[in-house]
Structure 1
Amino acid sequence: MSVVGRVASAGTGAFAKAGKAAGVLRREGLHGFMQRSVRVAYRSLGVASLDETLLDEDVADSTDLSLPIPESRPASGKPLRIGWVTTPPAPGSGGHTTLLRMVEAAEHAGHGCTLYLYDRFGGNLARQEAVIRQWWPNVRAEIRTVGDGISGVDACVASSWETAHALATHGTAPMRRLYFIQDFEPYFYPRGSLYSLAEDTYRFGFRCIALGEMVARLLRSEIGIDPDVTEFGCDTSVYRPLDGRQRTGVVLYARPDVPRRGYSVARLALERFHLAHPEVDIHIYGDRVTGLTFPATQHGRLRPVELNELYNSCRVGIAMSFTNISLVAEEMLAAGVVAVVNDSVHSRADLTNDHVVWAYPSPGGIAGALDAAIMGPPGNEDAIAASVRQFGWTKAQADVVRILEEEVYGPAD
C-alpha cells in the first residue's frame, strides 16, 4: 500500500472510532462513555492485579509451615497480651465491627490488645488509626502495622484469609495463634489461585473459631477440621421498633463491588417488584449505585442509629449473602422488618426465625418473596423484634475470651 493509501486508511479508522464513540455518547450518556473508557484502561494497564490483596512475599504455605509456640504457659489469671491482625477498616464495616467487639471483650476481661493492620497497598497508618478511633471509640488497643513485625504477644488472632497469611509470615516468634472466621472465604472467589490461597489458611494449624454453623459445617466438610463455634449476635439496644412510625417501604443493603452480597440479583428483583408495585417506596443504603431503572431513595452509608430510623420506615428488607448469613437480616428483624433472605441449607442453620421469608436467589424468586411479604397482612413489629436473640453479642464475646484464655493458659482442670 502506498504512503497515501496508508494515511487514508488510518484516517478512515480514526473516523470510524470517533463515530463509534459518538454513538456510545448518544446511547449511554457521558457516564456510560466514561465507564467504557475506564474499562479499556483497566484492561490495558493490568489493574486487575490490584484485586489481589496479598503480597507475594506474604504468602504462607501449609505444606512447609512450622511455627513455634511458647515452651511454657503463663500463670492462670495473669493479664495476657493479645494481638489481632486485620485489614484497615472502612467506616462502619460490619465484619470489622464484629471483630472489634471481640477486642473490646478481651480488653474488658483485663487483657492488653494490639491491632496489627495488614495493608497490601501500604496506606497511611495515622489515617487508618483515625478511622478506628472515630468509628469504634471503645477500642483502646494499640495500633501498629504488620510490617513492623508481630511479636511480644501471648496470642495473636487472624481475622481473614489475608491476615492469616500475614500472621504466618510475620508472626514467627513463639506465640499461640488463633483464627476468628466470619465467612468461608474461599467462596469469595471463583475456583482458582485466590480460592486456593484462602482455603489453605484453614490448614495452617491455627485454632479456628467459627462464627455460626454455616462456617463450622464447611470447615468440617471441606477441610476436615472441627472448629470451636460461637453464635451470631445483634445489638438490640440499637436495632428496635420505634413508636408511631408508618412503615411503607422496601429496603436493600447494596454492595455492588462485593459479589457475595448478591446486589445484581437483588437489583433485577427490585425492577420486577417495582413494575408490580409502583406505589411502594424503595430505599437503598450502603454504596450509592447507578443505572437503576426504577425510582429509589439512596441513603449511602449510615450509622447504626440512622439505619434503625430507616428500617422503621420499611415493612420489608432484602438481606443477601452467599458466604455466611448476613448480619443485616437480624438487624432488620430486630427493628421489626420482615427479612427476605436468599435460601440455602447453610443459611438456615444459623437463622431460625418465622419472620424470615426464604427466597430462591433469582430475580423472580426474590421479587416473588417481596410481593408475598408486601401483599400479606402487616406484621406485628414488636413480635418480629422479639424473635431475635436478645443476648446481643455477649455470648460470642464470652466464648471468644474463654477460648483465648484456654488456648494460652491451657485447659482448666
Structure 2
Amino acid sequence: MTSTTPLVAPARAVRHLSSRLAKAVSIVRRDGPRAFAQRLARLAYIRLGAATLAEPLLDDDVADSTQLELAVPTVRPARGEALTIGWIMTPPSAGSGGHTTLFRMVRAAEEAGHRCVLFLYDRYAGDIRAQERVIREWWPDLRAEVRNAVDGIDGVDACVASSWESAHVLARRGFSPMRRLYFIQDYEPFFYARGAMYALAEDSYRFGFRCIALGEMIAGLLRSEIGVEPDVTEFGCDTTVYRLLPERERSGVVFFARPDFPRRGYWLARLALQRFHELHPEQEIHFYGSRIAGLPFPTTQHGRLSAEQLNTLYNSCIAGLVLSFTNVSLVPEEMLAAGAIPVMNDEAHAKLVLQNEHAVWAAPTPSRLATALSEVVTRPRISETARAASESVRGVGWARAQADIVRIIEDEVYGL
C-alpha cells in the first residue's frame, strides 16, 4: 500500500499559497494595484532592514559634544582682508527652499568680497559633479567652488554648518584651525520622535559653534531647550518675485505637499482638505511640491514649480494651507505677498516670527483647519482682502538677514 504522507506538506503549501493569492486579489480589488504595491514595498522595507538607510550620517561622522577639541586659528586676519568661507550642506534638490535661503547668505558673502566654498556631504556617495550641476542650474548667481566634504574640510577661515548632520560632519572632518558657525533654520530635533536622531540633532547645538538663529522661534527654543544664546536674524520675503499681479478672479485653495517630511504635516493636511472639500466641493484644491496619487478628493496637481510659477498660482487662489512644526515656513509670507491668505497650525513660538493680521492660525486638527479654510473662502470682498494682505508684507526682502550673516561671520573671524 502506497503512503500519502509525503503529499501532506506540499498540499499545505499549496493551500497557503492559494490563501495568500486570494488575499492579494482581494486587496487589489478593494484598494487598487497601487495600494497593493505599497504594501509589498513596506514589507520589503521591513524584511530588508531598510530603516537604517534613514540614518543621514556614516557612523564615523557622528560627533560627541563631550569629546570635542577643535582647533581655532592663533592669529586673526586683518579686518577687511578677503576671507575664504566654507558652507557645509547636504546636496540640494532642484528648488529646495532651505538651500535657497542658505544660498542667499552665500551670495551675500560673495558680494561682500569673500571667496566661498560649498562642501557637499552625501552619505550615499552620489555623483558630486551631478550635484554641482543642480546648483549651477537652479542657483546660477553663485560663484562658489563645490567640493566633496568627505575629502575633508580645510583651506577656509570659517565654515558654516547648515543642518544638524552638517554640524556633525564639520566637527568630525573640519580638523584644521578655523572658526565654526551654525546657521539654524529649524529646531531640527523636532524632525524626529524622541530617539537617537533626536538626541544627535540636539547634541549638535552643544558643539560650541557660534549659532545664528533664523527667527525668534528658533532662538527661543535654543535658549529654553539647550541653554544656548544665539545670534538672531529675521526672515525675509522676496517681494520682487512674490507680489500681486494685475486683477484676476480668485478661487480655491493651495497646499504645499511634502509627505516625505513629517514636519510639513501632510497627513493632517490631507484629512483637513478632505473635510474642506466636503464643505466646499465647488472650490478647487491645488497641490504643488510632490505629486500625490490616490487622494479621496479631486485635486489639481502642479508638481514642482519655479518661484514665478508659484506666484502665479498663489495669485489665482483665495487661501493656502501651510503646516510647519519646526519653524515658520517661508511660504505664508510669500502667499500673503501674492494676496493669498495662509491658514497655519497655531504655534505660540511661530507667532513671534510671523506677526501679520491677515495670517490665520488654527488648532492643528482636521476639523479646525478645514473650518478656518472655509471661513476664508467665504469672506466677502475677496479682491480687497487680497490687496490688503499683499500690502501688509514688508518690502525689505532678505537684505537684513544677509547683512547680519556677513557681519557675524566677519566678527567671528576678525574679532570685535
Tell me how far 1:3 sits from its aligned partner. 2.1
Which residue number in structure 2 is paired with residue 76 of structure 1? 79
Question: 2:145 pairs with 124, 131, 142, which one?
Answer: 142
Tell me if structure 1 keeps the 8 A contact 2:252–2:377.
no
Tell me if structure 1 keeps the 8 A contact 2:91–2:121.
yes
Question: 1:288 pairs with 291, 315, 320, which one?
Answer: 291
1:341 is paired with a residue whose SS is strand
Tell me how far 1:291 sits from its aligned partner. 2.1
1:285 is paired with a residue whose SS is strand
Which residue number in structure 2 is paired with residue 247 of structure 1? 250
CA deviations 1:183-233 (Å, max 9, x no partner) are 000000000000000000000000000000010000000000100000000
Distance in 2, matches of 1:330 and 1:154, equals 35
Distance in 1, matches of 2:61 and 2:394, equals 39
Which residue number in structure 1 is paired with residue 392 of structure 2? 387
Distance in 2, matches of 1:25 and 1:79, equals 64
Distance in 2, matches of 1:341 and 1:39, equals 31
Question: 2:115 pairs with 105, 112, 115, which one?
Answer: 112
Which residue number in structure 2 is paired with residue 354 of structure 1? 357
Tell me how far 1:293 sits from its aligned partner. 1.1
Structure 1 residues 5-404: aligned runs within 5 Å: 5-377=8-380, 378=382, 379-404=384-409
CA deviations 1:287-329 (Å, max 9, x no partner) are 0012211111000000000010100100100111000001011
Structure 2 unpaired stretches of 5+? none
Tell me how far 1:367 sits from its aligned partner. 0.2
Tell me if structure 1 keeps the 8 A contact 2:92–2:134.
yes
Distance in 1, matches of 2:32 and 2:284, equals 27
Distance in 2, matches of 1:187 and 1:363, equals 21
Tell me how far 1:177 sits from its aligned partner. 0.1
CA deviations 1:339-389 (Å, max 9, x no partner) are 101101111110100101101111001001001111112243222112112
Counterpart AA for 2:13: A
Matched pairs, number:
411
Counterpart AA for 1:342: N
1:62 is paired with a residue whose SS is coil
1:317 is paired with a residue whose SS is strand
CA deviations 1:11-47 (Å, max 9, x no partner) are 1111111111111111111111111111111111111
Distance in 2, matches of 1:380 and 1:322, equals 27
Counterpart AA for 1:300: G
Counterpart AA for 1:334: A
Distance in 1, matches of 2:161 and 2:241, equals 28
TM normalised by structure 2 equals 0.98
Distance in 2, matches of 1:358 and 1:401, equals 34
Distance in 2, matches of 1:64 and 1:333, equals 46
Distance in 2, matches of 1:380 and 1:250, equals 15
Distance in 2, matches of 1:82 and 1:257, equals 32
Query: What RMSD, in angstroms, separates the aligned Cα atoms of the two structures?
Result: 0.9
TM normalised by structure 1 equals 0.98
CA deviations 1:215-267 (Å, max 9, x no partner) are 00000000001000000000000000100211111000000110000111111
Distance in 2, matches of 1:20 and 1:282, equals 35
CA deviations 1:68-102 (Å, max 9, x no partner) are 10001000000000000010000000000000000
Q: Which moved more, 1:28-37 or 1:181-190?
A: 28-37
Counterpart AA for 1:370: L
Distance in 1, matches of 2:338 and 2:101, equals 19
Distance in 1, matches of 2:376 and 2:394, equals 22
1:380 is paired with a residue whose SS is helix
Counterpart AA for 1:45: L
Tell me how far 1:148 sits from its aligned partner. 1.2
Distance in 2, matches of 1:252 and 1:2, equals 62
Tell me if structure 1 keeps the 8 A contact 2:157–2:179.
yes
Distance in 2, matches of 1:7 and 1:318, equals 56
1:5 is paired with a residue whose SS is helix
Tell me how far 1:8 sits from its aligned partner. 1.3
1:157 is paired with a residue whose SS is strand
